[in-house]
Amino acid sequence: MNHSIHDDRRRPAGFPMRAGLLALLCLAMAPAAFSADKPKGPEISRVIAKEMTAAQKAMQASQWSEALKNLEAAETKSPLTTFDKKTIDDFKGFVNVKLNNMKAAQAAYEAAIATGGYTAEEAGKTYRMLFRLAAGNQNYPKAIEFGKQAVEAGVTNNDDLVVMSQLYYLEKDCKNSNVWGDKAIAAARKSGEAPKENLYLFKLKCADDANDTPGKIAALYELVRLTKKTEYWNNLIRLERQDERDDHNTLMIYRVMYDTKSMNADTDYIEMAQLLGDAGLPGEAQSVLETVMASTLMKEEHRERTTRLLNSIKTRAETDKKGLAQLDAEAAKNPAGDLSVKTGEVHYGFGDYAAAITVINSGLQKGQIKHIDEAYVYLGRSQVALKSTADAKKAFAQLKGAAGASPRVVKLWELYAETIS
């Protein structure tokens, strides 16, 4: 696995930061004392009227420490009704958020909900606040329980489902992390939003922990679809390539890696060039080697060997270029399409994409092509180079029914077709 996949269980990317959590809480947790209308239903007892009035005035003046002092004084009075206790603790929770004392805020809201004094609607909102507070306080088991209660109350949103998946991941419960991740993905798609990248990262890291290669591949496919990031392409292609033993398929996989600009090792370029040379495509091999030689990926210990290979490839490419007109004529006369496809691949290697399209299409019409998957790949690649995206997608779509094509290779090119624009 590439080192770009980190195993940081403390706080994977995207975990609610404390500042963001505070912003959510401050918007959501204003108590009834600030309502423009007179509160309806139960009211506080006269026994704590003085302290609660003073607390509300302090809160309105943003004198949070003074407000807390009055609330604590109200707690000492007796007798207190259920409504009194709930209101005192609810206000204490709000004040402690303002004082940035999140642990005290969590304890206060827990005490408030334990009184049983909230309406069903109020309780649901309080469970959601406790869910976020406990998560921010890194009390993950409690956060999970509060999150479940908030979901049951119907007060959560898509982001809350993402946090639930994350909490289970932090608790090393990959099974439930995936369950909640799937819920978050489904909810995002239902609302017309793109799923969060983190959801697939949790799946990827869980699969990595379990040495589940198919699971890693599945997660990387989704990450590529979602982000088109080259690091995910690189990780995916390396996994798909690692047990491939057929040179034809290996080269097809390298072509995907090259076209997605996800090659990050000079040895990949060198091996691809060697395979292209073996396939009778020195022009394209030359282009691949010149690309890596001009990049920062080229290691000094490989430079001399690569230079020798490039010089050898150049000689062959020059010969091919001089004989290209004759090759075109031979391909045109040949009743089988295989030579036309090969000639189109040669044109592609020299950057003559329009000619490549013409000759390959001619070959496809004739039929009798040994590697028809190559015909569609080079047709699609040529159309991508000419920015004919719709035609390129059509060409790559033909791979699905191509005789003899590797399912792994077909799937990678289909993914590539999804990501081009």
Average of per-residue pLDDT across 387-405: 93
Q: Say what the pLDDT of residue 250 is.
A: 95
Cβ pair 31, 94 in contact under 8 A? yes
pLDDT at 4 exceeding the cut of 70: no
Cβ pair 106, 139 in contact under 8 A? yes
What are the angstrom distances between the C-alpha of 319 and each of 197, 228, 313?
A: 49, 38, 10
- pLDDT tens string 268-304: 999 999 999 999 999 999 999 999 999 999 999 999 9
Q: What is the mean pLDDT of the chain?
A: 89
Max Cα separation, the chain? 105
Instruction: Please name the residues in contact with 267: beta carbons below 8 A apart, sequence gap of 6 or more.
Output: 302
pLDDT band at 44 (very low <50, low <70, confident <90, very high): confident
Cβ pair 123, 130 in contact under 8 A? no
- pLDDT tens string 249-277: 999 999 999 999 999 999 999 999 999 99
Kindly state the percentage of the chain with pLDDT values over 90.
86
Q: Say what the pLDDT of residue 334 is.
A: 94
pLDDT band at 10 (very low <50, low <70, confident <90, very high): very low
Q: Say what the pLDDT of residue 421 is.
A: 83
Task: Report d(CA 191, CA 145) in Å as an integer.
Answer: 25
The CATH fold of domain 18-172: 1.25.40
Q: Say what the pLDDT of residue 415 is.
A: 97
Amino acid at 167: L
Q: Say what the pLDDT of residue 381 is.
A: 97
pLDDT at 7 exceeding the cut of 70: no
Own/partner pairs, 315-319, CB within 8 angstroms, 24+ separation: 316/277, 316/282, 317/282, 317/283, 317/285, 317/286, 317/349, 317/350
Q: Which residue has the tokens 């991508």?
A: 384
DSSP code of residue 38: P
Query: Rounded to two decimals, what is the model's pTM?
Result: 0.81
Average of per-residue pLDDT across 133-152: 96
- pLDDT tens string 77-100: 999 999 999 999 999 999 999 999
Q: Would you say how long the chain is, in residues?
A: 421
pLDDT at 36 exceeding the cut of 50: no
pLDDT at 212 exceeding the cut of 90: yes
Secondary-structure percent of the chain, ordered helix, strand, coil, rounded to 5:
75, 0, 25
Q: Say what the pLDDT of residue 410 is.
A: 95
Task: Report d(CA 360, CA 105) in Å as an integer.
Answer: 70
Q: Nearest to residue 236, comparing CAs of 272, 194, 208, 274?
A: 208
| Count of beta carbons in the 10 Å neighbourhood of residue 95 | 26
pLDDT band at 27 (very low <50, low <70, confident <90, very high): very low
Tokens of 181: 């991740």
Residue 14 CA to its chain's centroid (Å): 11
Q: Say what the pLDDT of residue 43 is.
A: 84
Task: Report d(CA 93, CA 308) in Å as an integer.
Answer: 73
Angle between helices 213-227 and 230-241 (to 10 degrees): 150
328 phi and psi angles, rounded to 5 deg: -60, -45
Q: Say what the pLDDT of residue 243 is.
A: 87
Cβ pair 231, 3 in contact under 8 A? no
Q: What are the residue boundaries of the structural domains of the chain, listed by start?
A: 18-172, 222-419
Q: Nearest to residue 140, comparing CAs of 105, 165, 114?
A: 165
The CATH class of the 222-419 domain is mainly alpha
Average of per-residue pLDDT across 17-30: 36
Asked if 18-172 and 222-419 have one fold, the answer is yes
Average of per-residue pLDDT across 149-158: 95
- pLDDT tens string 366-382: 988 999 999 999 999 99
Amino acid at 153: A
Q: Which residue has the tokens 């091919």?
A: 320
pLDDT band at 173 (very low <50, low <70, confident <90, very high): very high
pLDDT at 39 exceeding the cut of 80: no
Instruction: Please name the residues in contact with 224: beta carbons below 8 A apart, sequence gap of 6 or more.
Output: 232, 233, 236, 415, 419
Instruction: Please name the residues in contact with 231: beta carbons below 8 A apart, sequence gap of 6 or more.
Output: 2, 4, 262
